[in-house]
Amino acid sequence: MATISISQLSATGANLLADSESYLNELTDAELNETKGGSLFATAIFVIGVAAGYKASKAVIEELT
């Protein structure tokens, strides 16, 4: 059976939000409550996981046939 190992996973651009000079520090609580979205990272991880699972299952099926 195929094994997938991810040794290094990083969110590109995440360091921009972790910076002490981030614009997020300037937002008020009301502005933060009105913010919409934020699921892009979770969606990207989900899509990558589905793609990896598909590729792994396809490899297993090819080995069996």
Residue 19 has a pLDDT of 62
Q: In which domain, by residue range, is 46 found?
A: 37-64
Report if residue 32 sits inside a domain: no
Report if residue 48 sits inside a domain: yes
Residue 37 falls in which region: left (phi positive, over 0), alpha (psi -120 to 50) or beta: left
Report if residue 21 sits inside a domain: no
Report if residue 42 sits inside a domain: yes
Count Cβ neighbours within 10 Å for each residue of 12-39 and write b for 16 or more, e otherwise. Answer: eeeeeeeeeeeeeeeeeeeeeeeeeeee
Report if residue 7 sits inside a domain: no
**Close Cβ partners of 2 (under 8 Å, ≥ 6 residues apart):** 56, 59, 60, 63
Residue 50's pLDDT band, with cuts at 50, 70 and 90, is confident
Residue 17 has a pLDDT of 62
Q: What's the number of domains the chain is made of?
A: 1
Report if residue 45 sits inside a domain: yes
* pLDDT tens column, 8-44: 777 777 666 666 666 667 778 888 777 766 666 777 7
Give this prediction's pTM.
Answer: 0.33
Report if residue 58 sits inside a domain: yes
